[in-house]
């Protein structure tokens, strides 16, 4: 992920926690994984 996307995701998670800290946050990651030997996606 590029830094701008990472910052946006973190900001959204922080906002959701601020809105209702008792409500769980579910994050679905749709990823095919990687086939590179070093494990980098």
Which residues constitute the domain of residue 7? 1-31
C-alpha to C-alpha distance for 15 and 25, rounded to whole angstroms = 11
Lowest-confidence range among 19-23, 26-30, 35-39? 35-39
**Residue 13 in domain:** yes
pTM above 0.75, yes or no: no
State residue 1's pLDDT score.
Answer: 66
Residue owning tokens 């998670």: 13
Q: What is the DSSP string of 6-37?
A: HHHHHHHHHHHHHH-TTS-------------T
Residue with tokens 């590029």: 2
Would you state the pLDDT for residue 40?
Answer: 62
What is the count of structural domains for the chain? 1
Q: What is the mean pLDDT of the chain?
A: 87
Reported as a single tens digit per residue, the pLDDT across 6-24 is: 999 999 999 999 999 999 9
Does 21 reside within a domain? yes
């Amino acid at each position: 992920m590029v830094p701008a996307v990472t910052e946006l995701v973190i900001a959204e998670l922080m906002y959701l926690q601020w809105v209702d800290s008792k409500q769980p946050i579910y994050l679905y990651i749709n990823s095919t994984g990687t086939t590179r030997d070093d494990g980098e996606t």
